[in-house]
Structure 1
Amino acid sequence: MGYPLIYCCPCYKYWNYLVKWFKRIVIALFSLTLLGIGAIVGAYFYVLPDLPDVNTLKTVKLQTPLRIYSSDGKLISQFGEKRRIPVAFEEVPPLLIDAVLDTEDARFFQHHGIDPIGITRAAIILITTGKKSQGASTITQQVARGFFLSREKTYIRKVKEIFLALKIEKALSKEQILELYLNRSFLGNRAYGVGAAAQVYYGKELKELELPEMAMIAGLPQAPSAANPIRNPSRAINRRNWVLGRMLEKNNITQAQYSAAIQTPVTAKYHGAEISLYAPYISEMARDYLVDKFGEEEAYTGGFNVYTSIDSKLQLDAQHALRNNVYSYDQRHGYRGATAVLWTDTPLETSNILTRLKQTQAFQGLIPAAVISIQEQGASLLTSAGETILLDWQGLKWARKFISNKRQGRAPKTAGQVLKIGQQVWLRNNGEFWQLSQIPIVSSALVSLDPHNGAIKALVGGFSFHTSQYNRVTQARRQLGSNIKPFIYTAAIEKGYTLSTLINNAPINNADTRQGTAWRPKNSPDRYTGPTRLRVGLAQSINVMSVRAMRYASLDTAIDTLVKFGFNRKDIPRNESIALGSNSVTPLQVVTAFSTFANGGYKVESYFIKSIEDSYGNVIEQSKPTIACTPNAESLPSIDDDPFAAMAEEFTQTEQAINIDTNSCGSPDTRYAKRVISEQTAFLITQALKSVIWGGGNWSKGTGWNGTAWRASRVVKRHDIAGKTGTTNESRDTWFSGFNPKLTTTVWVGFDDHSKELGRTSWDANGAKDQISAAEAGAKTAGPAWNEFMKDALAGTPEEPSTPPEGIVSVRIDLATGKLTRKTDYTSKFEYFISGTEPKAFAIEASESNNIFIEDSADELFQ
């Protein structure tokens, strides 16, 4: 019996051979699969202890910079190395999402964290070339790497990346993952995330981007430096066009869109933080506050938004007024000469001049320029921008030679007396015309606040933050000068003086020996008028009257009164010189103290931060300012419920003891400012401070007189303003502090070097008719900045009527004696008094003649 044919056929052996090899291959593949699974399981358990909890991504806190805003939402400053503007997935334009996905991970919404096709492609490249590639990384893997891993190219990092990606896909939605990627990616120029990239490269919000701009941003994650459109525009445009090609290939844009987009030139340029309001001194104060509160790292990366109390319009008004005033002071003291000489005999080529000029940066509105020709009363100058400026005589004639702070040269008659060809100088456009200028060397500060809650509305700590970060509003402690006098007279009025009290304006012969030397204060100017009403003494800032008023109140009472207004006791000398302002204070202390008169007697606490938000927009700190009002009984907690209510009851009893009209306000959570003087006293001092500006008497009858700040009446032109000038010995410090019912402002001008005097100026033959000359003083040096600021700040607001509070009476007095009178002519006027303190006796027509140079022992005659 023979075998079947199949067994005899040679094919059988071949077939048997194939089956054996097939079995071997199956066994090998099965073994490899088991090994692969085992390797994966082993790898998983190997890296498991190092795998972080991906659930932290649900509450991840992206590093975002600290931003400082004005109260009306203007960005003042931004701090932090990373610029990031977090955006929600819904805020990202769909076309930008398409551009990113088509470029980075086209199957993002199909895979589960890893892309097998991409892995296969990477493996083939590795086998054929021996090079590692990141082409297999999905967006989910990039999120895993970006948040949890390093960028090192190792197998173990890749394994961790894969497992983390799988875990992330289970923990988060696709939209959440993509949102993290869009906000986390570094896109060059310190921009992190597409929101920041849109602002940095194009100065736009995401919704404003055009297709070519979206494609440009989408192409940045893989090579943010090499494909940067600012540093390497040619390579960037190739990358952009490749992205556009991918979008066309995936049918996310049309052929027409593609053709138009690739023809678009690169428009990217660097855009800094979108600063809407440049206010560096207040932003530095806010930064310091955040660093002290949260620490430097958290403050700079926590994404805090700080809203200050600054009003953007008032801040701009303040900066403008301060700079104009500093320039004005600097100009009237003379021209200090060119900053450099670019050539003497042989003129430079224009290109060389421009190269030299560009080495000097513009400064606070000043631009560098070279003198290229001079006419009789004019000159031509070339700016660093290549523009030729024709400087006429109006912009040159001020420049008489500076000799010292006390001396100036003669007024020039020709441009050649001021300028030489080849000189490098500064030019400034003052809003009307170009003028020769120079960098001022004097310092100044301005601060303005709401007197009813202490909110700082404007703050300028110096002429230039660029040259000096020293904040003179909060850090400079300078002698107060005659700005002290309203507080001295407050002590005297609370002791029994009135606005009509006669105080002897005569030389003080009884010297105060407590200072170690015979201190005999003098008036400035050195004139004496005999018995003078307190209102006039304060309005005309008569020194000897202030000293006598302090003596009447007593030194201890005067010091206690200053402390009530917020001045530090340790900074107050314990001698009579405080009557003329020998104590050292900051402008912020001064403006807060003057607010007490404006708000009716309350000491508010100044503040500059309204609220702080975290990176999610949650308010984590809200200011609780002190309010200048008296709480009503309903707003106060009961004594039984609140241990602090007893203090409130005592406060209310104090209010009643000083006989004030309590204006109820507030709620149970309101913080009330402490009343430090009665409403009546605040009203009387305010009336006297109005006379500082408006004066008194009858000019047509020859009895008119000016207060020291009469210029304010001509500039501000409002009758609801009050203020006080201040000048220290040798004009080292000058002040003007004043207010209306809505705004209190203090201006200081001086040199940072205490030894320098502000000096004086001689009459300038080329100057205006109303020019400032002679010795520098509060009214002339600090006053103009206050006048300009208050004029602009109060523009468009109605005048506040002056309404006497309850407890104030008005009677007609004789201007010479301060007593009652029946006359109704120019020798009399109505005067305000606290009820019960008005004069009881009538003036007689023929008063006894008194020697005004009597000794201090007779001072009681004028009380």
Structure 2
Amino acid sequence: MILLKRTLQFFIICAFLGLITLVSLYYYVKPDIPSVQVLKDVQLQTPMQVFSKDGLLINQFGEKRRIPVTIEEIPQPLINAILATEDNRFYDHIGIDPIGILRSALVLISTGEKKQGASTITMQLARNFFLTREKAYIRKVKEIFIALHIENLLTKNEILALYLNKIELGNRAFGIGAAAQVYYGKQLNELTLAQMAMIAGLPKAPSALNPIRNPVRAKARRNVVLRRMLDEGYISQADYKQNSQEPITAKFHGAEIDLYAPYISEMVRAEMVARYGYEKAYNSGFKVYTSVESNVQAAAQTALVNNLHAYDMRHGYRGPEQQLWDFETQPALSSSEILAKLKPIKEIAPLLAAAVLDVGEQTATVLLKNGEQASLSWDNLKWARKYITRYRQGFPPKVATDILNPGEQIWLRKNDDGSYLLSQLPEASSALVSLDPNDGRIKAIVGGYSFEQSQYNRAVQAKRQVGSNIKPFIYSAALNNGYTLASILNDAPINQWDKSLGVAWRPKNSPAVYNGPIRIRRALAQSKNVISVRLLRGVGLQRTADHLLKFGFQNNDINRSESLALGSASITPLELARGMSAFANGGHLITPYFINEIQDSAGNVLFKTEPLLACDPVTPPLTTTQFESTSGLNTSQAANHCAPRIISKQNAFLIADAMHSAIWGGGSWAHKTGWSGTGWRAQVLKRRDLSGKTGTTNDSVDTWFSGFNRNVMTSVWVGFDNPGNPLGRSTYNNNMANTQISGAESGAKTAQPAWIDFMRAALKDKPEAPIEPPEGLVSVRIDLATGLLSQKNDYTSRFEYFEKGTSPTKYVMQHVDNVFEEETKTEEELF
């Protein structure tokens, strides 16, 4: 009895001392224990995601890969695997596991080493959020108290969800959602049991047990997890046997990009960092919806890349990238040796690295970097005549040995039919910008051939001379200053002595064809240089420059010399597209934008673009219902959401209509008076709603094509990154089809093909959207030779638009055939 009493006293004293110790420890560490209230509103570090307008993932930026999931989205077998391995009594304990602590203490007492932990999932969550991994007793004490706080604050499912979204699992994957994507490229519900067990085994040592770096150790750990699941009754013996024998299938998977558009994603990244700072932009889980349409953006990239390759191919083959072995003096390498040499080569999409194994009469056998062996047919080789200079090409090849030799490392592109085409990395560069001229939304933007090759975004950073793309703005100034589309100017050479230089300035047409008296409409459509100079002189240099500044161009970019009339101003493609949009939208200066909406990680809208529209405030104002049905804005927003008017709607229409003639020409081909504009190649699109303008600078250094209808404005530039390098010319290649381009490079030949390919895709299945004549215009029949009123209803006359009060008042007295005959298309191609 006495022994029992003393034993009871001993336990009471021990309990009292333990309680005092526990309370003392609590107050000792209390100042260092963080508040766990933050877990109620926890903000997991998740990457910023960039989407297209229609919701396809373009890119993601962040230091950590994390895909947050709810407890309902986690498959039960994966939960079972985690619980069996990390904390099987999770749903039974209060945040600490006395049995686990006792087991750990016994191991410590018996071995003197901390070999076995006693951390519950709640304790691990406490450590992951608030503490370090330091193995110290005081850290463990803090961990226990924080775990108890967490259990009082959150439900078990909330704790488990936080833990599974927070844990580090290697390869910059944080949380099981990211791990499934990084290791298997799958959603959680697509994983096999073996793959779930693999992920469940990673928390213990994410680096050491990584299935990509250490597949042997990872497999052993996976099977430990499966054994624990078997022991706990989560799986059957058959399940264990089958899944423990499964091979390691993990490999690194990048983000699931739906639309590869690196230039627009970089624009978004830079803008978000500017707005929110690096840390917040990268780790707050922002979702940024851009303005680009996925199919339109993809079409822009394809059109630009294909056009650069077409330019490159017609100028000749520059030879292999390198010589892997000398086939004349060395024996051929084995496949494994060749693949070893190809492995370090960085491929730039769409180019694929390959080695030439054998060359036949009109075929070649190659080994690709991915191990595939393929045969190149003559149709995929015969373009490759020798490149000599940008102005000269060799003779068309007759046999494959004229082109290739064994041992050469070459570049290939894959054709639509799966065959491979001999290719090379283009030397020229390009940019494409497409806008909605009604509100400035960037529908597509491409800054170069390859973002991997060069991150320089030529669409927004490269200021290049615009050549004849400046002329619509020059002609707009002329219409503002008394000229009309029927005004007659003399298309004849100009010789002007320049005292400062001591030479004569002789601007020339390109081609050097002069028609004498010519109407302004046709002069713009055929890009007559001397007429542009005469108009600038007639309006005045300063007045013309002031007019150009209305279109949003920078003052420093608009040089004050007569060469301005020929396009010596340097402007980015985006700036040009913005300015040109005024002719498509009725005279308004829109503001381009590329971000539609920014959401936080919970989907709350933080920012939504409210673009300025190409509209005029209505007086008297429409009702709210009327205004919203036409613009999407209410009446109180109208005045603040209309883009500024910079030219009259009449001026805008007249220039757009003259640019329509640049594509469709004029005159009567039946009466041998027909003529073509410089953009006649766009007729292949068979759309009567398009207007356009070519642009070519001296020596074909910069080439442009800009064109539009009411809803789409697109500008394309092609040139070399190093200003001053001419694009040259190419001769006809007898090995190629009759559709090939030859002669001097120009806006019509070099830039317009990309514009045509892009617009074909962008306008597919879209109804025609012509620019309708506004009020304030009259249409009268004029004589083609004089621009005066005509009473004839034949090929010598046409209807012309005029602003009210500017149409001619006199009739032509007589018309003698051939006094002014619209000449036929010259043999020299129009630029």
Equivalent residue number for residue 819 of structure 1: 788
Q: Find out whether 1:298 has 2:280 as its counterpart.
A: yes
C-alpha displacement of 1:484: 0.3
How many Å separate the matches in 1 of 2:320 and 2:526? 41
C-alpha displacement of 1:621: 1.2
Kindly tell me: are residues 515 and 465 of structure 1, through their superposed partners in 2, closer, same or farther at Cα, counting changes over 3 Å? farther
Equivalent residue number for residue 198 of structure 1: 180
Kindly tell me: are residues 537 and 371 of structure 1, through their superposed partners in 2, closer, same or farther at Cα, counting changes over 3 Å? same
C-alpha displacement of 1:127: 0.5
Structure number, greater radius of gyration: 1
Residue identity over aligned pairs, in percent, reads 56
Taking the TM superposition and a 5 Å limit, the aligned residue runs for 1:280-299 are 280-299=262-281
Of 724, 729, 737, 1:768 maps to: 737
Give CA-to-partner distance per residue, 1:370-413, whole Å, 9 cap, x none.
22222222222222233332222222222121111122222222
Name the amino acid aligned to 2:548: L
Name the amino acid aligned to 1:269: K
Q: Find out whether 1:213 has 2:195 as its counterpart.
A: yes
C-alpha displacement of 1:629: 1.3
How many Å separate the matches in 2 of 1:160 and 1:288? 41
C-alpha displacement of 1:690: 0.9
Runs of 5+ in structure 1 lacking a partner?
1-17, 639-662, 853-863
Give the secondary-structure state (helix, strand or coil) at the position aligned to 1:626: coil
In the alignment, is the contact (CA less than 8 A) between 1:514 and 1:575 conserved in 2?
A: no
Equivalent residue number for residue 542 of structure 2: 556
Name the amino acid aligned to 1:398: W
Give the secondary-structure state (helix, strand or coil) at the position aligned to 1:78: strand
Equivalent residue number for residue 789 of structure 1: 758
Name the amino acid aligned to 1:541: S
Of 29, 32, 37, 1:47 maps to: 29
In the alignment, is the contact (CA less than 8 A) between 1:635 and 1:666 conserved in 2?
A: no
In the alignment, is the contact (CA less than 8 A) between 2:357 and 2:365 conserved in 1?
A: yes
Size of the alignment, in residue pairs?
Answer: 809
Taking the TM superposition and a 5 Å limit, the aligned residue runs for 1:105-124 are 105-124=87-106
Of 482, 498, 517, 1:496 maps to: 482
Name the amino acid aligned to 1:679: K
Q: Find out whether 1:683 has 2:683 as its counterpart.
A: no
Give the secondary-structure state (helix, strand or coil) at the position aligned to 1:627: coil
How many Å separate the matches in 2 of 1:543 and 1:711? 20
In the alignment, is the contact (CA less than 8 A) between 2:690 and 2:770 conserved in 1?
A: no
In the alignment, is the contact (CA less than 8 A) between 1:631 and 1:664 conserved in 2?
A: no
Give CA-to-partner distance per residue, 1:257-296, whole Å, 9 cap, x none.
4444334433322211001111111111110011111111
How many Å separate the matches in 2 of 1:145 and 1:665? 51
Give the secondary-structure state (helix, strand or coil) at the position aligned to 1:779: helix
Give CA-to-partner distance per residue, 1:652-687, whole Å, 9 cap, x none.
xxxxxxxxxxx9873223521111111111111111
In the alignment, is the contact (CA less than 8 A) between 1:572 and 1:584 conserved in 2?
A: yes
Of 387, 392, 395, 2:380 maps to: 395
Give CA-to-partner distance per residue, 1:696-720, whole Å, 9 cap, x none.
1111211111111111112x22111
Taking the TM superposition and a 5 Å limit, the aligned residue runs for 1:370-409 are 370-409=355-394
Give CA-to-partner distance per residue, 1:200-254, whole Å, 9 cap, x none.
1222222333333222222221122233232333333333333233333333344
How many Å separate the matches in 2 of 1:396 and 1:851? 50
Of 146, 153, 165, 1:164 maps to: 146
Give the secondary-structure state (helix, strand or coil) at the position aligned to 1:226: coil
Name the amino acid aligned to 1:375: G
Taking the TM superposition and a 5 Å limit, the aligned residue runs for 1:138-149 are 138-149=120-131
How many Å separate the matches in 2 of 1:624 and 1:435? 46
Quick check: 589-598 or 375-384, which moved more?
375-384
Q: Find out whether 1:694 has 2:661 as its counterpart.
A: no
Give the secondary-structure state (helix, strand or coil) at the position aligned to 1:135: coil
When the two structures are superposed, what TM-score results if normalisation uses the length of structure 2? 0.94
C-alpha displacement of 1:498: 1.4
Of 321, 325, 336, 2:307 maps to: 325
C-alpha displacement of 1:635: 6.0
Name the amino acid aligned to 2:656: T
In the alignment, is the contact (CA less than 8 A) between 1:479 and 1:584 conserved in 2?
A: yes
How many Å separate the matches in 2 of 1:811 and 1:619? 53
Give the secondary-structure state (helix, strand or coil) at the position aligned to 1:136: coil
Taking the TM superposition and a 5 Å limit, the aligned residue runs for 1:255-274 are 255-274=237-256
Give the secondary-structure state (helix, strand or coil) at the position aligned to 1:204: coil
Of 425, 437, 443, 1:439 maps to: 425
Quick check: 70-79 or 337-346, which moved more?
337-346
Of 334, 338, 348, 1:353 maps to: 338
Quick check: 821-830 or 54-63, which moved more?
821-830
Quick check: 509-518 or 738-747, which moved more?
509-518
In the alignment, is the contact (CA less than 8 A) between 1:491 and 1:553 conserved in 2?
A: yes
C-alpha displacement of 1:437: 1.2
C-alpha displacement of 1:761: 1.5
Taking only aligned residues, the RMSD between alpha carbons, in angstroms, comes to: 2.3
Of 714, 717, 732, 1:745 maps to: 714
How many Å separate the matches in 1 of 2:815 and 2:664? 30
Name the amino acid aligned to 1:625: P
Quick check: 620-629 or 126-135, which moved more?
126-135
Taking the TM superposition and a 5 Å limit, the aligned residue runs for 1:530-609 are 530-609=516-595
Give the secondary-structure state (helix, strand or coil) at the position aligned to 1:269: coil
Equivalent residue number for residue 725 of structure 1: 694
How many Å separate the matches in 2 of 1:416 and 1:254? 64
Kindly tell me: are residues 617 and 394 of structure 1, through their superposed partners in 2, closer, same or farther at Cα, counting changes over 3 Å? same
Equivalent residue number for residue 87 of structure 1: 69
C-alpha displacement of 1:509: 3.1
Equivalent residue number for residue 658 of structure 1: none
Give the secondary-structure state (helix, strand or coil) at the position aligned to 1:630: coil
Kindly tell me: are residues 462 and 55 of structure 1, through their superposed partners in 2, closer, same or farther at Cα, counting changes over 3 Å? same
In the alignment, is the contact (CA less than 8 A) between 1:813 and 1:828 conserved in 2?
A: yes
How many Å separate the matches in 2 of 1:850 and 1:138? 100
How many Å separate the matches in 1 of 2:112 and 2:621? 80
How many Å separate the matches in 1 of 2:771 and 2:595? 31
C-alpha displacement of 1:634: 6.7
Name the amino acid aligned to 2:637: D
Give the secondary-structure state (helix, strand or coil) at the position aligned to 1:486: helix
Runs of 5+ in structure 2 lacking a partner?
625-629, 822-831
In the alignment, is the contact (CA less than 8 A) between 1:512 and 1:576 conserved in 2?
A: no
Name the amino acid aligned to 1:271: H
Name the amino acid aligned to 2:117: G
Kindly tell me: are residues 351 and 260 of structure 1, through their superposed partners in 2, closer, same or farther at Cα, counting changes over 3 Å? closer
How many Å separate the matches in 1 of 2:596 and 2:820? 58
C-alpha displacement of 1:637: 13
Give the secondary-structure state (helix, strand or coil) at the position aligned to 1:521: coil
How many Å separate the matches in 2 of 1:624 and 1:513? 53
Kindly tell me: are residues 744 and 511 of structure 1, through their superposed partners in 2, closer, same or farther at Cα, counting changes over 3 Å? farther
Of 151, 155, 178, 1:173 maps to: 155
Name the amino acid aligned to 2:408: Q
Q: Find out whether 1:310 has 2:292 as its counterpart.
A: yes
How many Å separate the matches in 1 of 2:632 and 2:443? 23
Of 633, 636, 640, 1:666 maps to: 633
C-alpha displacement of 1:516: 8.0
C-alpha displacement of 1:123: 0.7
How many Å separate the matches in 2 of 1:516 and 1:792? 52
Give the secondary-structure state (helix, strand or coil) at the position aligned to 1:701: coil
Q: Find out whether 1:99 has 2:99 as its counterpart.
A: no
C-alpha displacement of 1:514: 7.5
Kindly tell me: are residues 256 and 430 of structure 1, through their superposed partners in 2, closer, same or farther at Cα, counting changes over 3 Å? closer
In the alignment, is the contact (CA less than 8 A) between 1:513 and 1:519 conserved in 2?
A: no
Give the secondary-structure state (helix, strand or coil) at the position aligned to 1:191: coil
Give the secondary-structure state (helix, strand or coil) at the position aligned to 1:457: strand
Quick check: 57-66 or 763-772, which moved more?
763-772
Quick check: 108-117 or 836-845, which moved more?
836-845
Equivalent residue number for residue 673 of structure 2: 703
